[in-house]
Amino acid sequence: MAQPTSNGILKFLFKAIVLPIIVLVVVVGIGVVVLGSMTPAQLGVADFEFSEGVSIRSMGFADMKIFDIIKQFRNLFREPSLEDMVSNPPDPEVEEPIVEANLGVSSASEGGEIDYLAIVENAVVYDQELLLEYNDTTLAFLINEIISAGSEQAEEEGEEEAVEAFKQLSAKVEEIIINVEGSERDMRFVISINIESLIQQATEQQDNPALNFALRAVPSKVYMVSDLGVSADANGKLVFVSEDLRINDQDNQISEIILGLLSEMVDSENSEEGSAEEVINKGFGEIVGRVVGNLGKVGTATADETTHVVSGNIVLGNDGILDGKVTVITYTQATAPAEE
């Protein structure tokens, strides 16, 4: 279950948080009260390098007033209230019975227990084609269970670098919202990343008391809020288009600079991937698309209301994307795609 894109996202995100914090320490140390209305460029410190090739100027802070840098940093990295940001969180007590009902007679069920890793590794197979619904909250729950199951396996077997990265940062899908208005179909994806352990590691590696103090002031969680256009192709596969990406659901200049820094990191890794926003949103889309794609083909069909057994009229595509949910036609041994 290789997820190299997701692993890179986490590495990029951490680098882009720590380096700007170093900038904040520098500008605070300059003397805020006296020089706060000036810019690093005016003060002659814009080209000071923190590491090879990394300076205040290269990160985009050179022409911002010291006051504005500090104010926007504080706003951006103040840990937001989850209740203010998330309106559609998954409730495990509600979602688990839905998952068990949908997957209980599939290849993902072993002895009455759901093998969550099986959902992301290969297509889930049934004896018959069924028309099943998955709410957006159920998809969020499923992905979290996959991360949890993968983390446990990685710990036991020392495998799956990408899953191990999710484990170390305690990544969690806080919300998925599928919104359909007319012909427009969008998805909001909110993931929280716990960076407390990485901040602690960075603190232990630094001898600068001011930097250590600033690092301790960083919130333990960072939220990435992704907006994606979503559709389903003629084969019943989800297709995503990057629309917007925000840190802690905020749009401000510091957030744009950090995403720009992420873009430079992405370029250094693979110049063909696109901007940071596109790469990160692509990774989020791949997570959802892979899970849904293994659950079945997105579409509609005529099916028994009780047994959900499909009797005909299968139509794959956008009609399977509804407000708050997707409908899939499940795989059988005859229709399942080949294992990767």
Q: What is the pLDDT of residues 282-337, one digit of tens each?
A: 888 988 999 999 999 999 999 999 999 999 999 999 999 999 999 999 999 999 99
Per-domain boundaries in the chain = 4-329
Strand partners, 132: 328
- pLDDT for the residue numbered 170: 73
pLDDT classification of 203: cutoffs 50, 70, 90: low
- pLDDT for the residue numbered 144: 92
Cβ neighbours for 133, distance < 8 A, ≥ 6 positions apart: 325, 326, 327
pLDDT classification of 198: cutoffs 50, 70, 90: low
pLDDT, averaged across the chain? 78
- The radius of gyration computed from the CA coordinates of the chain, to the nearest angstrom, equals 23
- Between residues 37 and 120, the one the model is more confident about: 120
Region 250-273: what's the mean pLDDT? 58
Residue 308 CB neighbour total at 10 angstroms: 18
For the cut 90, the answer to whether the pLDDT of residue 256 exceeds it is no
pLDDT classification of 53: cutoffs 50, 70, 90: low
Q: Which of 83, 79, 282, 275 shows the shortest CA–CA distance to 195?
A: 79
- pLDDT for the residue numbered 229: 98
